[in-house]
Amino acid sequence: MKQPIKPVAILKYKEKQFLSLDDLVVSEEPLELRLLFDVDGLLQEKSMAVTMRTPNADYELALGFLLTEGIIRNTKEIEKVFHCPQVPPEAQGNVLKIVLKKGIVPQLVSSERHLYMSSSCGICGKASLEQVNLHCSRAIVFEERISPTVVCNLSDQLANTQLLFRHTGGLHAAAIFDAQGNLLCLKEDIGRHNAVDKVVGELYSKKINPDHKILFLSGRAGFELVQKAALAGLGMVVAVGAPSSLAVELAQRMNITLIGFSRGHSFNIYSHAERLKRE
């Protein structure tokens, strides 16, 4: 059984010192939901969704998804739910089968967004990491060494510029800075993924070279957000919140410096710490 947390070694910057520490990050793994149902005496199997999740409460996640998408009407329509054992070892626990009772036909026509809950791919973390590698046509270029003071100042700059957040308090923000900490682009959205897509779109529409640029996130750093940074060619991701385990693995593999818990005058470095100046 996959665990909901994973240990990682980090470099912490606090009070103008770098400290080597052990830390815990939340696990992130893909989960594929497969629905099995009877149609005129023939058993049909349909892949319903692939989503990134923390490995726990998989059954509840599946039931909630089927109910809120209107695919089933109540849990009495379900015969059994189980993790599929016939998958590669690295994907064990990442494929869940939901078998409907005989005569129950799922409402698939009325649910058009059930195919993929996210842009993630693969049924194991390894497959997801490799998929990003395949789609990255642009090499990460980041040869600058960044001052810790620059990193510490990013959050304040963002807070002073988030006009919509100031009025509503209900938005995520993504921003792109240069290596000196100058704000180049800022976008806000109710969805953190949308905010990143918007800011990357602006970066490229303005024909700004992504080399030596920093992506700043107002929330946590999950796999899909680091994936977007990799595909955009951004070599440093700084987040106010925590990274996930798969985000850390992806950052290590894709030559991205990943920083989390950037608050006040401290932050944690989860990958490629060599880009931070030792002041």
Q: Which helix (H) or strand (E) holds 40?
A: none
Other CB atoms within 10 A of residue 190 CB: 11
Between CA 28 and CA 19 the distance in angstroms is: 26
Phi, psi of 198 (to 5 degrees): -65, -45
Beta bridge partners of 20: 11
Q: Catalytic pick from 121, 136, 152, 185?
A: 121
Please give the C-alpha separations between residue 263 and each of 23, 46, 113, 155, in angstroms, as whole numbers.
17, 44, 37, 7
Write out the two tokens for 230: 């990799």
Query: CA 41, 79, 30, 193 torsion: positive or negative?
Result: positive
Write out the two tokens for 134: 């395949």
Query: CA 139, 132, 190, 222 torsion: positive or negative?
Result: negative
121 is catalytic: yes
Between CA 244 and CA 250 the distance in angstroms is: 10
Write out the two tokens for 31: 């989960």
Between CA 50 and CA 143 the distance in angstroms is: 36
Q: Which residues are catalytic?
A: 121
